[in-house]
Amino acid sequence: MRFVPDVVVSYWPIFLALNTLFFNEYLIYFVKIGFTCDWPCDGHCLSNELRIFLISDTHLLGERHGHWLDKLRREWQMYRSYRSAQHLLAPDAVFFLGDLMDEGQWGDYYTFHRYADRFDSLFGSSGNRPEVHVLAGNHDLGFHYAVSPFRVEWFQERFNRSTVDTVFIKGQPFVLLTSMAMHGDGCKFCHEAEVALRTIGEELACAKRGKCDKNVSVRFDPYRRPILLQHFPLFRVNDDECLRDKDFDHDDPNRNDPYRPTWEALSKESTELLLKTLEPRAVFNGHTHRGCMKRWTRPVNFWEYTVNSFSWRNGDRPSFLLATISEKHVLVDVCHLPHESTVLRLYIVVAVILAAWLLRSLVPVAKSLFLRTRRIRYRSPSGEKLIKSG
């Protein structure tokens, strides 16, 4: 102990509290991600493979229901998680699968852009790497019947994202879809999405045949099945069909609730349209705040991955997906973030230790003050000697 300063020895609980604060608010993210997360590889990783993050449901709190302390806590957790993961794993691209905001469907133009500014401050890229691509969710635009053309336009202009979009990274094609446009009721929003899907389907079909007409784009040549990204899961009755990761909360009383088509998942008809048109290699989505991996065999073989929420606000065990993509395979793994309950337990333990130390330190002081007060009370007005108690 001779190498430890006397002030540390005397006030060690205070230093313990400061170190716990540093660990819980900064270091824990590097420890958790650094020791438990890595890129999935088939034998060994190759430098030309595409590596991406898939993140969903950040739900940045709004002005109606978001308390400032809750905002600070949740946004700091997501900021540190994202920056730590980005530093340690260095992805080529990051896809946010919708519900960036919690109250985006209610705000006006200026509120939307304040939201977007906050999102950029948390997850924006300072350079060209990683590429950041975002999708709209129902909390960004509203469910189908609540979608405003103005909000669609705001989102498209701010995030450079169409209702149906395509992105190519290292030669790998991605189709990005706004799920609320797949309602299938013939509205203008849905019609535009269906037209865009048919166009992409024609381009994929001719690339697959190896022969395209002059008026058809050859951007999918050489042919590769695209990866579909959207906010809603494909049609399913509930999560019973899922292979569940440990982020699935078995204590959740709603875990086996049925999924309503167009609310918790796409309709069966929209799902069939997407799968027949695109024949995807893999499908990634979010929305449910629970992780799910489901195998599809018709009309083509692929895995569907539903991404858990990235925020503590939607569960104690947030996570995101790591995907390694090459011509031969799409490999996916889950990266689990620190549990909020772990952080709270550490704070509680240290708070108890600090409180006990403070009580122990203050007892002699309080006792001395009590005795001094007692002596003063028994002093006579004429300055006589103190009367001994007892």
Tens of pLDDT along 69-87?
889 999 999 999 999 999 9
Handedness of CA 230, 300, 241, 331 (dihedral sign): negative
Strand partners, 103: none
What per-residue confidence (pLDDT) applies to 257?
84
Q: Which amino acid is at 27?
A: L
What per-residue confidence (pLDDT) applies to 390?
44
Percent of the chain having pLDDT more than 70?
A: 90
CA 118/CA 60 separation, integer angstroms: 8
Q: Please, is 75 exposed, middle or buried when counting C-beta atoms within 10 Å of its C-beta (0-12, 13-18, 19+)?
A: buried
Q: What is the pLDDT of residues 223-248, one digit of tens each?
A: 999 999 999 999 999 988 888 766 55
Q: Please, is 212 exposed, middle or buried when counting C-beta atoms within 10 Å of its C-beta (0-12, 13-18, 19+)?
A: middle
Global confidence as pTM: 0.89
| DSSP β-ladder status, 93-96 and 131-134 | parallel
Q: What is the pLDDT of residues 262-316, one digit of tens each?
A: 999 999 999 999 999 999 999 999 999 989 999 999 899 999 999 999 999 998 9
The pair of three-digit structure tokens given for residue 263, joined into one six-digit string? 């609310």
φ, ψ (nearest 5 deg) of residue 243: -85, 115
Residues in CB range of 190: below 8 A, 6 or more apart: 144, 181, 182, 183, 184
CATH topology of domain 17-39+47-344: Purple Acid Phosphatase; chain A, domain 2 (3.60.21)
CA 38/CA 318 separation, integer angstroms: 17
Using 50, 70 and 90 to split pLDDT, how confident is the model at 140? very high
Mean pLDDT, rounded, for 130-156: 93
Average pLDDT value for the chain: 89
